[in-house]
Amino acid sequence: MKCALSIAGSDPTGGAGLQADLQVFSAFGVHGAGVVTALTLQDSAKVHSVMPVFPSVALDQIRVLLADITPSAVKVGMLATDDVARMVQLGLANLGADVPRVIDPVLAASDGTPLLERRAWPVLREIMHGAELVTPNIPEAELLSETSISGAQDCERAARIFIEDFGCRGVLIKGGHSTGPPDDLLAFGGESGISFHWLGGERIDVGAVHGTGCALASGITAGLALGHSLERAVADARQFVVRGLLNAASLGNGARFLGPKDGQ
């Protein structure tokens, strides 16, 4: 059995964050381990508040876990504060370089609530170093690369910054926030430079759906844990999210939830 680890914030609704990640791992047939970086109070409409864990508790969870279990892939999501992010970085230093890491650079919730304090951006960029993949949406890519994105060329320029300046091996810039077609850009470095792969997407108009970014990054992490190539892991996870959107269901009074997570 393969194990994937999610290091993320708790979302009591189960739509995003750690609870959602574990459901996605399970749907992919991968055992899910989880380290909590923050508690949140939230319902399907909004985040009411964020309570980061004591930074030492984030580090201790990772240390104790990794001393016993070596996951086959790790996903990093919401980090909340600079102190927690630094402890996560320290904890991950115990992880073998051969264990792929997927970083979802969560900056804010869809309702605008900040999920990472701004002074933590430098350490977030450091955590990206050596990661197999970083999965920003367009606003996150703009903020972290300090560029503005209004077309394919801008997107490729931002992707280059993630790979060349932040040192990640690959980046998936998610196009859902673009005004045009929601195509994603997958870029990764190779011996002959960076290759850019545009992955066509169709807008699925089902209104607000909670936790799509978390599900995509967890699906990719699960695929990598299973030993799949980055391209296959990305393709499978995108398909998983599309199926989830087509089957999205309302459980509360706010955003919908991705449809039944009943496996591949």
The reply to whether 216 sits near ligand PLP by the rule CB under 6 A is no
CA distance 188 to 163: 7
What is the number of alpha carbons within 13 Å of residue 73 lying toward its C-beta? 29
Q: Which DSSP symbol is given to 109? A: -
203-216: b (≥16 Cβ within 10 Å) or e: ebeeeebbbbbbbb
The reply to whether 107 sits near ligand PLP by the rule CB under 6 A is no
The reply to whether 109 sits near ligand PLP by the rule CB under 6 A is yes
Reading the block at residue 10, the tokens are 């708790």
- C-beta of residue 54 within 8 angstroms of C-beta of residue 22: no
In whole angstroms, the minimum distance from the beta carbon of 85 to ligand PLP comes to 14
The reply to whether 40 sits near ligand PLP by the rule CB under 6 A is yes
The reply to whether 8 sits near ligand PLP by the rule CB under 6 A is yes
* CB of 50 or CB of 187, closer to ligand PLP: 50
The reply to whether 78 sits near ligand PLP by the rule CB under 6 A is yes
Query: Can you tell me which of 70, 110, 147, 247 binds ligand PLP, judged by CB under 6 A?
Result: 110
Residues in Cβ contact with 254 at an 8 Å cutoff, skipping those fewer than 6 apart: 43, 44, 45, 46, 208, 210
CA distance 261 to 216: 13
* CB of 115 or CB of 233, closer to ligand PLP: 115
Query: Can you tell me which of 6, 7, 11, 65 binds ligand PLP, judged by CB under 6 A?
Result: 11
The reply to whether 34 sits near ligand PLP by the rule CB under 6 A is no
Q: Site size for ligand PLP, by CB under 6 A?
A: 17
What are the helix (H) ranges across the chain? 17-27, 55-68, 82-92, 121-127, 138-145, 152-164, 212-225, 230-246
In whole angstroms, the minimum distance from the beta carbon of 204 to ligand PLP comes to 15
Query: Can you tell me which of 52, 55, 136, 213 binds ligand PLP, judged by CB under 6 A?
Result: 213
Kindly report the CA angle at 18 between 176 and 53, in degrees rounded to 5?
Answer: 115
Strand ranges, E, within 167-207:
170-173, 184-190, 193-199
* CB of 17 or CB of 91, closer to ligand PLP: 17
Q: Which DSSP symbol is given to 174? A: B
In whole angstroms, the minimum distance from the beta carbon of 30 to ligand PLP comes to 19
The reply to whether 100 sits near ligand PLP by the rule CB under 6 A is no
The reply to whether 228 sits near ligand PLP by the rule CB under 6 A is no
In whole angstroms, the minimum distance from the beta carbon of 213 to ligand PLP comes to 6
Query: Can you tell me which of 52, 55, 77, 175 binds ligand PLP, judged by CB under 6 A?
Result: 77
CA distance 18 to 5: 10
* CB of 8 or CB of 22, closer to ligand PLP: 8
In whole angstroms, the minimum distance from the beta carbon of 21 to ligand PLP comes to 9
Amino acid at 179: T
